[in-house]
Amino acid sequence: MRTLLGSIEAGGTKFVCAVGTDDLEILERVSFPTTTPEETMALVIDFFKQYDLQAIGIGSFGPIDIHEDSPTYGHITSTPKLAWQEYDFVGEMKRHFDLPIAWTTDVNAAAYGEYVKGHGKGLSSCVYYTIGTGVGAGAIQNGHFIEGFSHPEMGHTTLRRHSDDLFEGSCPFHGDCLEGMVAGPAIEKRTGIKGQDLEETHPFWEIEAYYIAQVAYNTTLMFSPEVIIFGGGVMKQDHMLEKVRQEFEKLVNGYVKTPPLKEYIVTPALVDDPGTIGCLALAKEKIR
Ligand code: ADP
Ligand code: ZN
């Protein structure tokens, strides 16, 4: 009999729920809008009740409590999404499913997906950034997430400002942090145009690449990962990757010898699936 696993990619706008096998094949996938915990979780629970699952992996928007010995383990903590503040996500799932549950951030899950089945496969380290509605990242070293008192929050680090950029930034906490300068809503607020509708020739993309290259540069110097993967809606701009690589090369200025940039700075091999594959893989780890 094949082993069925559940995956929840809990995002700020939608929850993507999937059922897959322990070969990490996705069999079924649905998506529910993120409204209130009552509404959204009722749909999630009904969906999974249809299957005889062995484990569930959750990658959630955050910040979240990841410490198993903490009284609020499994909770979403200080999110700006008020309805979900201090929400006991894992506790609610445990009330409905007597199963092992893997719990991590959305970006850690995506990093893990690429690590086991994408550009990180066969390597011992990778860092995954998403640049979408928000910015976040997960880092893996020897199969483990890099974390300490909590999970990293690499989406809110600081940047050196581009000399042509006067935008004040859109992060409600920090203004012009990384997320406040490069995420989709920052692009729209600054240019008045959604990223997907902004011409490839628009001068803003040079500024965006200048910032994302700094992210790759800082990541390189701090973690020296074997690959840096940039996912999320904004990176659907095919021309961005090459711009980022060029700016990165200028920043590094020969100081460190990285792997060839075409293999080092990449978009996800799993395209839109790194989070789902990662959650399935983390669920599978729970039943080993
Ligand atoms: P989420 O972060 O909500 O999971 P996405 O990663 O798709 O979802 O990010 C959505 C953001 O990315 C929006 O702000 C949107 O304007 C922007 N975006 C989506 N597609 C593109 C595109 N092709 N080019 C540039 N920006 C895009
Ligand atoms: Zn911020």
CB 195 near ligand 1, within 6 Å: yes
Q: Do residues 228 and 131 make contact, with C-beta atoms less than 8 angstroms apart? A: no
3-state secondary structure of 189: helix
Q: pLDDT per position in the chain (288 positions), as tens?
A: 789 999 999 998 999 999 999 999 999 999 999 999 999 999 999 999 999 999 999 999 989 999 999 999 999 998 888 999 999 999 999 999 999 999 999 999 999 999 999 999 999 999 999 999 999 999 999 999 999 999 999 999 999 999 999 999 999 999 999 999 999 999 999 999 999 999 999 999 999 999 999 999 999 999 999 999 999 999 999 999 999 999 999 999 999 999 999 999 999 999 999 999 999 999 999 997
Nearest CA to ligand 1 atom 13: 184
Residue with tokens 């979900």: 84
- Of 2, 239, 228, which is closest to residue 120 (Cα–Cα)? 228
For residue 170, the ligand closest to its alpha carbon is: 2
**pLDDT number for residue 80:** 81
Nearest CA to ligand 1 atom 15: 184
* Atom in ligand 1 nearest the alpha carbon of residue 131: 6
CB 155 near ligand 1, within 6 Å: no
For residue 157, the ligand closest to its alpha carbon is: 2
Tokens representing 241? 């990757």
CB 70 near ligand 1, within 6 Å: no
Tokens representing 29? 């996938």
CB 202 near ligand 1, within 6 Å: no
What are the structural domains, with CATH classification, of the chain? Answer: 4-105+272-286 (3.30.420.40), 119-266 (3.30.420.40)
**pTM strictly above 0.95:** yes
Nearest CA to ligand 1 atom 14: 184
**Residue ranges with strand state E in 214-273:** 228-231, 265-266
Q: Measure 233 CA to ligand 1 centroid, in angstroms.
A: 3
For residue 33, the ligand closest to its alpha carbon is: 1
